[in-house]
Structure 1
Amino acid sequence: MRRLLMLSAAFCLSAPAVLAQGASGSSGPMVISISKLDCSRVISHTPSADVAYQPGVDVRGKRVVSADADPKQAEFARKVLPEVLEIPLTINPLTYNKAKKANKNKEEAAAAVAANTTAIATAQAQGTTLNTQLTTLNTQKTALTNTYNTDTAAIVAITGGAGETDPGLLRVRAARQATIDNTYNSNLSSINSQIATVNSSITANSNTVATLQANDTTLRQDYTDTNMATEGTLAGLSAKGLDSTQMKVGTVKYDVARNTFTFNGEPMLSEDQRALAEACSRRGVKAGGRR
């Protein structure tokens, strides 16, 4: 039943909610066509197999005051509103496949443009991040070199200065210089490696942005062409007078007194409700709260 509900609901929502001509007599059920509003009411209902409406009794079986503030109005509603509402679910079998394919092509073209636009924004943001990383690394490299030069000058100063010739002081200077040289070279190598990696990433990211921007023009033209083709297909189907062809695939019945739904005589379980809700959602109908 799930597949049938999803199929039928998806194609019945465009019809306005009007009383069907030639409905059964006054003692029989009222037959209406389902609209988006009808659909939203159906999918907002949450049936339970063991719960039936009992006037004047709450869900715990306790007596409650009737919600009918105006007895006359309630009586009038009972006379006007039928005991069972029937909502026939129909599709157009002659135009279904062609119309569905045309609309699907249009949706896919639009989705491709949207996805590419998102990819461009993501790549550009990544480019900004990479450039920030590069700036930070270059700043660290400059600071490291400045510190190294300062430390080297300090070693020379405490070991007799630039003109010192004493072998002992020169050995001390050489040992200390070797220590700071090892630390400096290790840190400098690490920073240079990171700079190289970031530069490589920036180049690759720039190429990606360029490719995506080039694709944007192509994808937008594809969408324009697909949209025109879709409109042409739908207009062609309409011109042939196929829009009004209908085939009934089932009937949803709502028992007003019991507050229950059935589809083709079978109770609508939670799975059926979800299937109908999904089909309605694709056509822009969202389930509302209880009323």
Structure 2
Amino acid sequence: MPIRYGVIALGVCGLAVIPAQAQQAQATGGPMVITITKLDCSRLIQHQPSADVAYKPGVDVRGRPVASADTDPGRAEFAKKLIPDVLEIPITINPLSYAKRNTANQNKATAAANVASNTTAIATAKSEGTALSSQLSTLNTQLSTVNTNYSAATAANVASTGGSSPTAAQTTVRTIRQSEIDSTYTPQISSINSQITTVNSSIATNTATQTSLATKDTTLRQTYTDTNMATEGTLAGISAKGLDSTQMKVGTVKYDIARNAFTFNDQPMISEDQQKLAAACAKQGVK
């Protein structure tokens, strides 16, 4: 999530911070992830109950003044010692291994995304192929029906105008009627045949697309397998060199309880950043 002085994203507690001051340490390795624990989230996020349920010293639930239940001044002082006025969370990173880890994991994620995208494209192409086949079947049925009706109309015309031995007058009538029959059915037959040609062309294109995507799928899955193995090898190599625990402090997040304000390296964080910080922790059950 974007922040005026850096970026906050989920880490161990679901939270990682990338300050502007750390950008020089990761010129080619992408954003640096800075881990804050779940306990840190608990310390950072201040619960604010609704006005109708929050305890208010010196008044009852109706707002009428009552004697305070806290008659021990030392208790309040002790509470202040437990919870300081300003909570401070030091932010550290692992500068030696982060770039390699990030690159390896990004390569793996990209390979996986390519496989997923191609799989979606295959499913879409198959769905389109099924729809085109159904459309072609419907058109062929319509064409068969129109041809049957045309043949029936033609046969009826012949039968009603002297059959196989028409007179000259019957021949004249037959010709006129047949012209009317042709003008009715020929445009329908022509239109359906044109649609069938178009659908057959689309089916051919769709079939070629499915074949291409299937070939691509094999390649992409092999690439993912290779990339995954390379990623695991990179991560194992980093761990083997003992770089997992390398740490460098890049700054401090402070929460001023009285002012209800966050700062990073004494620079204010905007309220939107605080809301996103709270939301990130809330996803991990810290409210």
TM range (shorter): 0.7 to 0.9
User: SS of the residue aligned with 2:245?
Assistant: coil
* Contact 1:40-1:287 at 8 Å conserved across structures: no
For 1:144-223, list aligned pairs within 5 A. 144-165=146-167, 167-223=168-224
CA offset at residue 122 of structure 1? 0.7
Cross-structure match for 1:124: 126
Equivalent-residue separation in structure 2 for 1:172 and 1:234 (angstroms): 91
The residue type equivalent to 2:155 in the other structure is A
Equivalents in 1 of 2:146, 2:255: separation in Å? 79
Could you say what secondary structure the match of 1:242 adopts?
Answer: coil
Give RMSD over aligned pairs.
Answer: 3.9
Q: 1:287 to 1:40 in 2, by over 3 A?
A: farther
Q: Match for residue 228 of structure 1?
A: 229
For residues 239-286 of structure 1, give each alpha carbon's deviation from its aligned partner in whole angstroms, at most 9, with x where no partner exists: 2222222222222222334433222223321453477689x6xxxx77
With over 3 angstroms needed to count, the CA separation of the structure-2 counterparts of 1:109 and 1:3, relative to structure 1, is farther
Q: Which residue of 2 aligns with 1:138?
A: 140
Shift of 1:212: 1.3
CA distance in 1, matches of 2:155, 2:141: 21
Does the residue aligned with 2:243 lie in a helix, a strand or coil? coil
5 Å matches for 1:30-179? 34-35=36-37, 38=40, 56=56, 79-165=81-167, 167-179=168-180
Aligned 8 A contact 2:3 2:269 in 1: no
CA contact (8 A) 1:253 1:262 kept: yes
Alpha carbons 1:34, 1:89 under 8 Å: kept: yes
Q: Give aligned pairs, total.
A: 253
CA distance 1:98–1:179, change in 2 (3 Å):
same
CA distance 1:143–1:241, change in 2 (3 Å): same
Comparing 33-42 and 247-256, the one that deviates more: 33-42
CA distance in 1, matches of 2:274, 2:261: 12
5+ long unaligned stretches in structure 2: 16-34, 49-53
Distance 2:183 2:43 in 1: 77
After superposition, the C-alpha distances for 1:210-257 in whole angstroms (9 at most, x for unaligned) are: 221122222111111111111111111122222222222222222334
Matched-pair contact (CA < 8 Å) for 1:261–1:267: yes
Mapped contact 1:44–1:290 kept (Cα < 8 A): no
Offset of 1:3 from its aligned partner? 6.7
Q: Secondary structure at the match of 2:88?
A: strand
Do the aligned partners of residues 104 and 4 (structure 1) sit closer, same or farther apart at CA in structure 2, a change above 3 Å counting? farther
What is the 5 A alignment of 1:221-260? Answer: 221-260=222-261
Alignment partner, residue 22 of structure 1 = none
Residue 130 of structure 2: SS of its match in structure 1?
helix
* TM norm structure 1: 0.72
Q: Secondary structure at the match of 1:243?
A: coil
Q: Work out the percentage of aligned pairs sharing the same amino acid.
A: 57
| 1:13 maps to 2:11 | yes
Letter of the 2:90 counterpart: P
Q: Distance between the aligned counterparts of 2:154 and 2:144, measured in 1? A: 15
Q: Tell me: CA distance 1:56–1:230, structure 2 relative to 1, closer, same or farther (3 Å).
A: same
Higher relative CO (CA 8 A, sep ≥ 6), structure 1 or 2?
Answer: 1
Alignment CA distance shift 1:145-1:106 (3 Å): same
SS in 2 for 1:250: strand
- Of 189-198 and 154-163, deviating more is 154-163
| Structure 1 range deviating more: 269-278 or 197-206 | 269-278
